[in-house]
A and B are shown apart, each in its own frame.
Chain A
Amino acid sequence: MAAVVGVVVFPGSNCELDVVEAVDRLGGDGRLLWHGATSLGDVDAVVLPGGFAHGDYLRPGAIARFSPVMDAVRIFAAGGGPVIGICNGFQVLCEAGLLPGALQKNRGLKFLCAPIQLRVEADRTPLSGDIAVGTLLTIPINHFEGNYTCSSQTLNELRADDRVIFRYTDNPNGSVDDIAGICSTERNVVGLMPHPERASHELLGSTDGVPLLQSLLATAAAATA
């Protein structure tokens, strides 16, 4: 049975169909979940997609974290379910306290939209499970507020527990320690600024996002079995 990936749609999300398309193409079953839903249904994984949830008013993710669906996401995550936040989804997870730290405006105040190179720094997460540490991937970023920051104590914890899972090889936005993606202490909640779904087909210019999404589907399928 195909792994079911629920993709949350907040008002202002704009990458949800890309994620569903990529998931379906790789043999999963992508389903849209409205942000007002109080239940996730029978999903095996959840993705919070990119976009501008609630217009990014106040701060990116600041209002989205109060959407009704987030209570269900919190419970799903607490039960060990894989939760992935991509770009705006990463911002939502930080605001919701499901991941530590925060995402500030890019150094240089430029909106960045370009393919960038990532280095896989840690495995044992739903998104990097099958990928060798050190693998270089070219995946697009598309953000204004992707400059990851956190307290020095949090940074030490992230490093010590091997929770920085992706680093930029050429830091585009000023993120502390070149961080492009991190995971939670239990490793099942992952946030990253690059968009793997936008590197999931030759026609998009790169297929480097495919192993990440395949890893997510494998994790989700294992959860079902």
Chain B
Amino acid sequence: MRFSVLVETRPRAGVADPEGATIERSLPALGFVGVSGVRVGKAFRFSLEASDATAAQAEVEDMCRRFLTNPVIEDAEVTVTADEQAPV
């Protein structure tokens, strides 16, 4: 089966996010008041061939642990969606 995968990484809770903090400080200058908790991360989108959703999820989590994130400072959220099957 083919799956569409979205991996979103962001600084772990408690880890300073200099990029987010700078953006948060800049927004009021443009008139956007009331913004707080800005966290900046990355998004990875790709498609993956796997036997089922559980296997796909496990494989992507392994990717995150070993490569896509630095577990010292980043967390990842993985979303795996089965692609629509073409009618046979």
- Residues of A near any B CB (own CB < 8 A): 58-59, 62, 94-95, 100-102, 104-109, 147, 149-151, 174
Is B72 part of the binding interface, using a Cβ–Cβ cutoff of 8 Å? yes
Pairwise interchain contact B16-A174, C-beta atoms closer than 8 A: yes
Q: Are A102 and B73 in contact (CB under 8 A)?
A: yes
Q: A95-B70, A151-B72 are in contact. Are A104 and B22 (CB under 8 A)?
A: no
**A104 CA / B41 CA spacing, docked (Å):** 12
Q: Measured between C-beta atoms, what is the minimum distance from A100 to chain B in Å? A: 8
Question: In the complex, A100→B22 CA distance in Å?
Answer: 26
**Are A174 and B18 interface neighbours, CB within 8 A?**
yes
Instruction: Give CA–CA (A100, B70) in the complex, Å.
Output: 11
The answer for the CA separation of A149 and B15 in the assembled complex, in Å, is 8
* Residue in contact with A108 in the complex, picked from B15, B18, B72, CB distance below 8 Å: B18
Q: List 18 A-B contacts (CB under 8 A).
A: A58-B68, A94-B72, A100-B72, A101-B72, A102-B70, A102-B73, A104-B11, A105-B18, A106-B18, A107-B16, A107-B18, A109-B18, A147-B18, A149-B15, A149-B73, A150-B72, A174-B16, A174-B18
Q: Which residue of A lies closest to B70 (CB)?
A: A102
Beyond A102-B73, A108-B22, 9 extra complex contacts between A and B, CB < 8 Å: A62-B67, A102-B72, A104-B15, A104-B73, A107-B18, A109-B18, A109-B22, A151-B72, A174-B18
Give the complex CA separation of A151 and B22 in angstroms. Answer: 23
Instruction: Kindly identify which residue among B16, B19, B22, B70 contacts A59, using a CB–CB cutoff of 8 Å.
Output: B70
The 3 closest A-B pairs by CB, nearest first: A102-B72, A102-B73, A105-B18
Shortest beta-carbon distance, B39 to chain A, in Å? 13
Minimum CB–CB distance for A19 against chain B, Å:
26
B22 and A149 contacting across the interface, CB-CB below 8 Å: no
Residues of chain A lying within 8 A (CB to CB) of residue B16 = 104, 107, 147, 149, 174
Contact A62 B70 (CB under 8 A): yes
The residues of B that contact A100 with a CB separation of less than 8 Å are: 72
A150 to B73, CA, bound (A): 8
Tell me the minimal C-beta distance from A17 to chain B in angstroms: 29
Task: Report the minimal beta-carbon distance from A164 to chain B, rounded to whole angstroms.
Answer: 17
Shortest CB distance A74–B (Å): 15
Please name the residue on chain B nearest to A59 by beta carbon. Answer: B70
CB neighbours (8 Å) of B22 from chain A are 108-109
Cα distance, A102 to B73, chains bound together (Å): 7
**Chain B residues whose CB sits within 8 angstroms of the CB of A150 once the complex forms:** 72
Min Cβ gap B15→A in Å is 6
Chain B 38-68 per-residue mask, 1 if CB under 8 angstroms from chain A, else 0: 0000000000000000000000000000011
Give the docked Cα–Cα distance between A122 and B11 (Å): 31
Given contacts A58-B68, A62-B67, whether A109 and B73 have CB atoms under 8 Å apart is no
Roughly how many angstroms separate A151 CA and B72 CA in the complex, as a whole number? 8
Q: Which residue of A lies closest to B23 (CB)?
A: A109
Identify the closest chain A residue to B66 (Cβ).
Answer: A66
